[in-house]
Structure 1
Amino acid sequence: MNIITSNFKKGQVHLRVTDSDDLWYLSHIIEPGDLVKGKTTRKMKIGDSDNAKVTKKTITLKIEAETIDTGAGATTLRINGKIKEGPEDIPKDSYHSISLEDGSDVWIEKPQWLSYQKQKLKEASEKKFTYLMCIFDREEAIFALTQKQGYEILVKITGDVPKKSKTNTITKDFHQEIIKALETYAGRYQPESIIVASTAFYKDDLYKKITNKDLKKKIVLAICSSVSERALDEVFRRPELAKTLEHSRAREEQLIVEELLAEIDKENLAVYGWDDVFKAGNAGAIKSLIVTDNFIQQKKEDKKYTELDTQMKHVDTLKGTIHIISSNLESGKKVDGIGGIAAILRYKI
């Protein structure tokens, strides 16, 4: 995302969408009541009624947002609301939508920009650090690419399992298949680092067989307990990868959720579920508010987003931090499993 101009005193920013990740951020920045300006299309009839032709004309509108929806494939973000500014021939307060995609310019105006919303803008505008991950054992391998809000599974491959008498070996072809995939994805995505993790000693054997020097110097080895999406989250938390993944938002989210779960296990400085979080928020006790995007979407669908928004603003005013976690991540699924919203407290209540 490019921040073209910003004037938070007036509540105004001008942004340019540069990749689909930006749409995820904007879906949590734009709220009902915000003024959003952008280009859209309108069907127009040209000619008399008997010979009229319908054509599409590009226009610029400013609307007051009412609903914000992610399109199919998460490649568009659709904001619908009443028109506040536009061409003279379009009636004000009639409904229209603005769709954002890669390359779109958008102007957003809010009564107040909260700290976490400014932080989301900052995150989206920072350099996108990409990491390629491969976790494998003697039977299968998973390749994933980190994104700003998590990771994308690229492919899962399966090797020929040796006979029981050779259970601690990997076939030569499977090693070469993994190396070939690493070379392909490294060339396609140009990752900052490549994390190769395995159970047992398989990673070391694989590393010795890599002859591509450019590929080899990007690789960081790690340990995982299994080959699964859950293991990807495990690798994110490995202490030996702290330096390598210092720019990974997914790692930050993993760690904050781990801290939350540790406090819950100790029955100490944590609450979860809407009712208990609401009480803790009203008491001013929340240090870190953790909420999933699924929970936010459900509140919007239930027409109860205002109460969540009010609570988030209250936490922000009291200098608490707000973490919006993707429900596609294992950490997000864990938070969804305890109600979709939780908090780490400043003090026990």
Structure 2
Amino acid sequence: MHMKILQKDLKHGFLKVKIDSSEDLWYLESIIEQSDVVSGMTERKIKIGGSEEKSKISRINVFLKIKVEKISFEDTLRVSGIIIDGPEDVPKGEYHTFSIAEGTTITIEKNHWTKYVLKKLEEATKQSAFYALIVAFDREDAIFALLKNNGYEVLLEIKGDVAKKGVDEKKTSFYKEIISKMKDYDEKYSFNSIILASPAFWKEYLLKELDDDVLKKKIILATCSSIDGGTINEILRRPELATVLEKDKSSKELSVVDELLNAINNNNAAYGMRDVKSKIDSGNISVLLVSENLIKKARADKTYSQIELLMTQAESLNAEIRIISSEDAARKLDGLSGIACLLRWKENYGKQNYEP
């Protein structure tokens, strides 16, 4: 479930990765930049045959190396640029687009790996503790699975006793059994999210039976075609899973931004480029927070080097660097200019006047 690094030599600007999930594509969109060199196996149309009349177009897999000019991300990540290396029958200087999806292996070469890119790479490959509960069921069967960083573990499978007569009564009893097991597992793991999946409308019926408002707030509804051995893998390919991952990340980022807001009220934080730089210069910084929106704007405006310098200096002081990218947390930080820091020690002065 995390991007795999196959080879790494950042001293020579070289990184080879394998894409394991759709979330990896989101990270790669931030990691790959214009003027990078991307290489790997890719599909390309090639003319086969002699004369124009007799030649035909065929799609073949070839190894190509391109200098990146454009990156776009929809269902797949598309990286386009000029071919700088490849087989003899593929002319250099022509345009080519890599379509990067799950299972793709590519190599990225850069002249300089910035702090921001390295943080995104760390985030993409880090095995942080993550748990969510998947409950897949219909009116006769239910599967409980624990979703973890490295896959999932089936915790329990239960069967309902549905007879032709008294179906509604048996169904309600089965739902209560499922809800009881959900509560037990939530007490044990304290989930941030619970994915409730079923064919048809069974999940909505169960939700009506659930009277626990705290548990309800954790639930994300998903659809599956049936309840069998392939059900959990089917759910893992659903877009709802990306929602769960983002929800977990958002919770953590909101927590650190709220900590920042409290620290500002207690004169234990600074924000804005000028004041953050002042704290770094004096060594009084424990955490540096930078909005990804600010970084993207600075990269587009060719002013990112200023932020890179602050990140490098903060890191030399053993300060933690947090890139804030989830929507709610980033919006709050953007309201404070997009850059801020928590202090190592409290300074006694009046509330600062914000200057970007």
TM-score normalized by the length of structure 2: 0.58
In structure 1, distance between residues paired with 2:217 and 2:184 = 26
Query: How many residue pairs were aligned?
Result: 272
In structure 1, distance between residues paired with 2:286 and 2:36 = 27
SS state of the match for residue 87, structure 1?
coil
SS state of the match for residue 88, structure 1?
coil
In structure 2, distance between residues paired with 1:68 and 1:97 = 9
Alignment correspondent of 1:257:
257
Distance 1:303 1:321, change over 3 A: same
In structure 2, distance between residues paired with 1:308 and 1:267 = 23
SS state of the match for residue 217, structure 1?
helix
Q: CA RMSD in A?
A: 4.6
Q: Does residue 325 of structure 1 match 2:324?
A: yes
Alignment correspondent of 1:49:
52
Report how far residue 16 of structure 1 moved. 0.7
Distance 1:62 1:282, change over 3 A: farther
In structure 1, distance between residues paired with 2:297 and 2:22 = 22
Output aligned runs, 1:69-218, within 5 Å. Answer: 69=72, 71-72=73-74, 75-92=75-92, 94-111=94-111, 113=113, 117-118=117-118, 120-127=120-127, 130-132=130-132, 186=144, 209-211=176-178, 214-218=181-185
Alignment correspondent of 2:333:
335
Alignment correspondent of 2:271:
271
In structure 2, distance between residues paired with 1:57 and 1:108 = 22
Preserved CA contact (<8 Å) 2:288 2:321: yes
| Structure 2 stretches lacking a partner, 5+ long | 156-174, 192-211, 219-244
In structure 2, distance between residues paired with 1:279 and 1:257 = 20
Report how far residue 252 of structure 1 moved. 3.6
Report how far residue 32 of structure 1 moved. 3.9
Q: Does residue 64 of structure 1 match 2:64?
A: no
Letter in 2 for 1:299: A
Query: Is the deviation greater in 298-307 or in 254-263?
Result: 298-307
Alignment correspondent of 1:296:
295
Alignment correspondent of 2:8:
6
Report how far residue 67 of structure 1 moved. 4.1
In structure 2, distance between residues paired with 1:309 and 1:185 = 48
In structure 2, distance between residues paired with 1:93 and 1:342 = 44
Preserved CA contact (<8 Å) 2:147 2:153: no
Report how far residue 37 of structure 1 moved. 1.8
SS state of the match for residue 44, structure 1?
strand
SS state of the match for residue 218, structure 1?
helix
Q: Does residue 21 of structure 1 match 2:23?
A: yes
Report how far residue 78 of structure 1 moved. 2.9
In structure 1, distance between residues paired with 2:45 and 2:132 = 44
Distance 1:46 1:304, change over 3 A: farther
| Structure 1 stretches lacking a partner, 5+ long | 134-144, 146-178, 195-207, 230-244
Report how far residue 288 of structure 1 moved. 2.7
**CA deviation map 1:225-256 (0-9, x unaligned):** 9x989xxxxxxxxxxxxxxx9xx654442332
Larger radius of gyration: 2
Preserved CA contact (<8 Å) 2:116 2:308: no
In structure 1, distance between residues paired with 2:83 and 2:309 = 25
In structure 2, distance between residues paired with 1:295 and 1:192 = 39
Distance 1:79 1:211, change over 3 A: closer
Percent of residue pairs identical:
34
